[in-house]
Amino acid sequence: MQGRKQMQIHAYQQLLLNEKANVLASLGFRPVAVAGEGRLGEEDQAQVSNDEFVSLRLNNLEYQKLRLLNAALDRLREGEYGICTRCDKPIPSRRLQVLPWAKYCVPCQEHIMLNEAEEEFDASSSGSFDEVH
Ligand SMILES: [Zn+2]
């Protein structure tokens, strides 16, 4: 079981890294080595950060996606990937295959879309909003 899960995680990591490469390319970065994450030296990292900052204004949507991708990769590293960050339930693999950077399960995503303003407060205040339905 554990081995199978590890393989899935690896597959998602590849999906995320591929998508990240696409986003970076559309943001105007030179193609990054998808298989060699972590190969960048300190100086390259600084350069990328600066480029990211410049692109932020030019390409906000792509940049947002990049942030989602980076966050998903962080969760992968921390072993929290595939867990809804709002309700702590597993996100169905069907959803992850379509949306590998998904942060929330479907009910939570819908809830957040209907209550956009709440999202900012979400992290620290679980339970303070009564469910109406
Ligand atoms: Zn959820």
Distance between Cα 108 and ligand 1 center (Å): 4
Long-range CB contacts (< 8 A, 24+ apart) of 120-129? 122/86, 126/86
Alpha carbon of 90 to ligand 1 centroid (Å): 8
Chain segment 67-111, per-residue pLDDT in tens: 999 999 999 999 999 999 999 999 999 999 899 999 999 999 999
Distance 106 CA to ligand 1 centre (A): 7
In this prediction, residue 41 carries a pLDDT of 54
Ligand 1: centre distance to CA 110 (Å): 9
Rounded to an integer, what is the distance from CA 114 to the centroid of its chain? 21
Residue 6: predicted pLDDT: 77
